[in-house]
Amino acid sequence: MTEAPATVKRPRIDLGYFRYQLKRSPLTIVGLTMVAFVLIVVIFAPVFATHEPNAIDLRARLAPPTLDHFFGTDEVGRDIYSRILYGGRQSIAVGFFVVFLAGLTGTILGALSGLIGGRTDTIIMRLMDVVLSVPSLALILALAAALGPSLINAALAIAIVRIPFYVRLVRGQALIVREMAYVKAANTFRAGRLHILRWHILPNTLSPVIVQGTLDLGSTILLASALSFIGLGAQQPTAEWGAMVATGRNYILDQWWYSGFPGFAILFTATGFNLFGDGVRDMLDPRQKAR
Amino acid sequence: MTQLSPMPPSRPLLEVENLITRFDLRSGLFGRIMGRVHAVENVSFSIDRAETLALVGESGCGKSTIARTVMHLDQPVSGSIRFEGEETVGASAQTLQAFRRHVQMVFQDPFASLNPRMTIARALIDPMLVQGVSGSRGAMRRKAADLLKRVELSEAHLDRYPHAFSGGQRQRICIARALALDPKLLIADEAVASLDVTIQAQVINLLMDLQAELGISLLFISHDMAVVERVAHRVAVMYLGEIVEIGDRRSIFDNPQHPYTRKLLASVPVADPRRRPERRKLMVDEIPSAVRPPDYKPVQLPMRQVSNTHFVREESHAA
């Protein structure tokens, strides 16, 4: 046994191990690079944009990609490149908002369900079954239509539909952890439910939730774009990828760049998050870490 | 650390009398009681200060339920559990809270007994935090380091996570955690059953050393007669929720009276083939189920006294 000085506190997250894991999976690096690229470009959109995203230029309508307009222009002469940069803000913000909201609500409900059990558990889980029993896109459409067409309502609708996945995940984990001997040991010195929740159940559910969240980011961005595409998400004149693809569809035969570039942005971002999410799952998997 | 309190030595630390624990089996739409598990049936025993009582018997005979009932993790149907002369069944929440500090438990599986996401220091401090032991973080950490030293681990291990330790080390950490509240009674529920033999010996020696140093009492639950012979001062043999024989170690091992005790002793492997009994009856039959219909009235045969310290239950017929 190697002796370490007792005063040195080990960092909670092992950076060296993290780097080692990254090296072993090149796809995660690709995903991480893609995500980082998108985030930087979108956050610093004002720096990278060449035009005002909503500035109309009727002399340059539906212009093909040139040095002035990298990705061409739309039917009222707005610069598509700049609109993609700004539009990404909407899509990605929706992604994070949805994952945060669904993850938080789902974790709380799932932990309560698993920890308390009995009638509380039955009520929560049957409610989740109801949500799950309806096809999610149909439910999102109904919710978004009922709440009224706007990006924030679309995000809420998506979040509601995603909650059951987190509830099931956390409940399952809570049921496992609840039966572990260390929780029984905590019972022997009379730890309360809150203590067990805070110190035993939540720390042991966090990594699956993070993995699920990272994987969800990609599909949420896709869903948000889909809602905007059918007109239930972002409203004109706000730039948003799904909405841009939708309007561009009318011109797809002659002006491929109109829906082509926003579509590629969606594809690129979703792929990036999915690759990264897969990598995070592999890294946080305790069975791998145990070796 | 715990001092031997100046109580009169005549009074046992823990007295359990006529303890009955049953679990209702409900099923159907209205949760009707369809049967009961008679897990612990009219059990009485006592443990003196600094004494080890071993509870032996095969799986499912109610040993762990006794431990859980004594810890008040399961509610008894009836009976009395007195700790230092004070009744704890039906006692107020405050009395119970104080009582729980004095009784701690070590579990069988050292791999599941420590939260993989807590450092050893945090795990050792946890009981102190929960029980509201006063003192600064630094003081608690020093106490945690002392506890580790007590179980022959080094202070340097404080900030490691459980996965860095072997089974025996983890079990010693669990013992350290159980000692964090300075208990007077330690319940070891099959605490060495999942360790290999050399590590078993280590952990058993540690428990015996701790007993000698701190004067704590041990309720040692096991199915391994060889281990029991080493640690126990007195032995209680359980079968199907009842104590069938109880007595000091020598009487039980040298002069077993109940046929079940004899069978248990016959199942201890003997290394030397020449000393191995020619014909020994091994236990191959399944233990009968303790599930009974709801209107079942248990019949219990009286205990017969063999000697001052040795009692055995009468048998209805030769088993």
Which residues of chain A have a CB within 8 Å of the CB of B174?
185
Residue A38, pLDDT score: 93
Residue A5, pLDDT score: 40
**Residues A141-149: contacts with CB under 8 Å, at least 24 apart:** A141/A227, A141/A230, A141/A232, A144/A227, A144/A232, A144/A233, A145/A232, A149/A231, A149/A232, A149/A233, A149/A235
Instruction: Write b or e for each residue in A276-287: b if 16 or more Cβ atoms lie within 10 A of its Cβ, otherwise e.
Output: bbbbbbebbeee
Which residues of chain A have a CB within 8 Å of the CB of B159?
6, 8-10
Strands (E) across B227-282 are located at: 234-239, 242-248
Which residues of chain B have a CB within 8 Å of the CB of A188?
71, 73, 100, 103-105, 178
**Pick from B39, B40, B13: which is nearest to B99 by CA?**
B13
Which residues of chain A have a CB within 8 Å of the CB of B100?
188-190
**How many other C-beta atoms are found inside a 10 Å radius of the C-beta of residue B34?**
13
pLDDT-derived band at A9 (thresholds 50, 70, 90) equals very low
Chain B touched by A288 (CB under 8 Å): no
Please name the member of B73, B159, B180 whose beta carbon is closest to the beta carbon of A10.
B159
pLDDT at A285 over 70: no
**pLDDT tens, residue by residue, B236-288:** 999 888 899 999 999 888 888 888 888 888 877 777 777 766 666 666 666 67
Best probe of the B interface among A188, A198, A199, by most B CBs < 10 A, is A188
- Provide the shortest C-alpha distance from residue B13 to chain A (in Å): 19
Residues of chain B with pLDDT under 70: 1-10, 276-287, 316-319
Cβ of A190 within 8 Å of Cβ of B130? The answer is yes
Which residue is closest to A11 within chain B, CA to CA? Answer: B159
- Provide the shortest C-alpha distance from residue A218 to chain B (in Å): 29
Which residue is closest to A199 within chain B, CA to CA? Answer: B118
Residues A175 and A125 sit within 8 Å (Cβ to Cβ) = no
Cβ of B131 within 8 Å of Cβ of A192? The answer is no
Query: Where do the H-state alpha helices sit in B255-315?
Result: 259-266
Cβ of B115 within 8 Å of Cβ of A182? The answer is yes
Best probe of the B interface among A182, A202, A204, by most B CBs < 10 A, is A182
- Provide the shortest C-alpha distance from residue A275 to chain B (in Å): 27
Residue B318, pLDDT score: 46
**Pick from B16, B36, B17, B22: which is nearest to B76 by CA?**
B22
Query: Where do the H-state alpha helices sit in chain A?
Result: 15-24, 26-43, 45-48, 80-116, 118-133, 136-147, 151-178, 181-188, 193-196, 202-229, 241-248, 256-284, 286-290
Cβ of A185 within 8 Å of Cβ of B107? The answer is yes
> In this structure, what token pair is assigned to residue B223?
């199915």
Cis, peptide link before residue A237, omega less than 30° from 0: yes
**pLDDT tens, residue by residue, A123-137:** 999 999 999 998 888
Burial class from Cβ neighbours inside 10 Å (0-12, 13-18, 19+) for residue A41 reads middle
Residues A50 and A66 sit within 8 Å (Cβ to Cβ) = no
Which residue is closest to A189 within chain B, CA to CA? Answer: B127
Residue A1, pLDDT score: 39
pLDDT at A269 over 70: yes
Residue A288, pLDDT score: 54
Cβ of A181 within 8 Å of Cβ of B100? The answer is no
Residue A6, pLDDT score: 40
Distance CA A231, CA A35 (A): 27
**pLDDT tens, residue by residue, A11-67:** 455 566 667 777 777 888 899 999 999 999 999 988 888 888 888 888 888 888 888
Cβ of B158 within 8 Å of Cβ of A6? The answer is yes
- Provide the shortest C-alpha distance from residue A202 to chain B (in Å): 10
Q: Which residue has the tokens 């630094």?
A: B138
Chain B touched by A284 (CB under 8 Å): no
pTM of the model: 0.76
Cβ of B116 within 8 Å of Cβ of A286? The answer is yes
Distance CA B215, CA B231 (A): 14
Q: What three-state secondary structure class fits B133?
A: coil
Backbone φ and ψ of B261, nearest 5°: -60, -40
- Provide the shortest C-alpha distance from residue A11 to chain B (in Å): 10
Residue A85, pLDDT score: 92
Residues B130 and A195 sit within 8 Å (Cβ to Cβ) = yes
**pLDDT tens, residue by residue, B166-184:** 888 999 999 999 998 889 9
Cβ of A182 within 8 Å of Cβ of B97? The answer is no
Residue A36, pLDDT score: 93
Chain A touched by B164 (CB under 8 Å): no
Residue A229, pLDDT score: 86
Cβ of A3 within 8 Å of Cβ of B114? The answer is no
Which residues of chain A have a CB within 8 Å of the CB of B119?
10
Q: Which residue has the tokens 């669990």?
A: B174
- Provide the shortest C-alpha distance from residue B203 to chain A (in Å): 18
**How many other C-beta atoms are found inside a 10 Å radius of the C-beta of residue B95?**
14
Which residues of chain A have a CB within 8 Å of the CB of B178?
185, 188
Chain A touched by B181 (CB under 8 Å): yes
- Provide the shortest C-alpha distance from residue B217 to chain A (in Å): 17
- As a whole number, the mean pLDDT across chain A is 84
Residues A124 and A154 sit within 8 Å (Cβ to Cβ) = no
Residues B292 and B299 sit within 8 Å (Cβ to Cβ) = no
